[in-house]
Amino acid sequence: MKNYGITMTAVDLDMVICLMMNVSLAFDVICSCVTWSLPSLVLFVCKGAVMIFHHLLSISGNGFVLYRGTNGTELMATLFGSEITNPVLQLRWFLRYTGVSVHTPTVAVAVDFCFLMLFTVMRIGIGSFLLYCYLRHPRPDWVARFASLIIYGLGWVFWYSIMCYAIRKYGHNLNFFRRLNHKVGNLDNSLNITAR
């Protein structure tokens, strides 16, 4: 083996082995995501155009990364950020399906709030920061930049629909606080008038 002026230590060799294992793990995860997305696409056909677009984008993005053999790290970060909310989303569904949401609404409200906060923090907050850093970096090509913008925009569409759902479901609680604030405001105004 020729030495081209590069010396490898045991730490460097461990790093190369670790990177090869990560690439293999990324390949396995991406393949499993593609195989999971295909049947879920069929299940979500009745859920609307945004969900169908989400699954088609996921399948084509995962397949494109597998085909190119690049951008696996970015895809793994995207999968983590987008799927971290999935267990709470599934918990919401199980609570509703088993009737727990009806019998103990406090648990349902807590799970809804956790889902909303986790989605907002991960996809909107941290996702915005990571997208900013990614777009400023000179190395990603235009295809990767365009794909990241599309998936980020889809996250905003989901966030908007989640916020509309939360306002529709819990808006009456907001009206309670408005009425309470209005009554307190009237009370303060009446106290100010009588003090004159």
Kindly state whether residue 184 falls inside one of the protein's structural domains.
no
Q: What are the tens digits of pLDDT across the range 51-86?
A: 888 888 888 888 888 888 888 888 888 888 888 998
In a shared domain, residues 27 and 94: no
pLDDT of residue 185: 52
In a shared domain, residues 63 and 85: no
pLDDT of residue 180: 55
Q: Which domain holds residue 14?
A: 1-69
- The count of domains in the chain is 2
Kindly state whether residue 20 falls inside one of the protein's structural domains.
yes
pLDDT beyond 60 at 186? no
In a shared domain, residues 86 and 53: no
In a shared domain, residues 51 and 87: no
Q: What are the tens digits of pLDDT across the range 148-175?
A: 999 999 999 999 999 998 888 888 776 6
Q: What are the tens digits of pLDDT across the range 101-117?
A: 888 888 988 999 999 99
Q: What is the 3-state secondary structure (H, E, C) of the chain?
A: CCCCCCCCCHHHHHHHHHHHHHHHHHHHHHHHHHHHHHHHHHHCHHHCHHHHHHHHHHHHHHHHHHHHCCCHHHHHHHHHHHHCCHHHHHHHHHHHHHCHHHHCHHHHHHHHHHHHHHHHHHHHHHHHHHHHHHHHCCCCCHHHHHHHHHHHHHHHHHHHHHHHHHHHHHHHHHHHHHHHHHHHHHHHHHHHHHHC
Kindly state whether residue 111 falls inside one of the protein's structural domains.
yes
| pTM, entire model | 0.71
In a shared domain, residues 3 and 65: yes
In a shared domain, residues 50 and 118: no
In a shared domain, residues 100 and 55: no
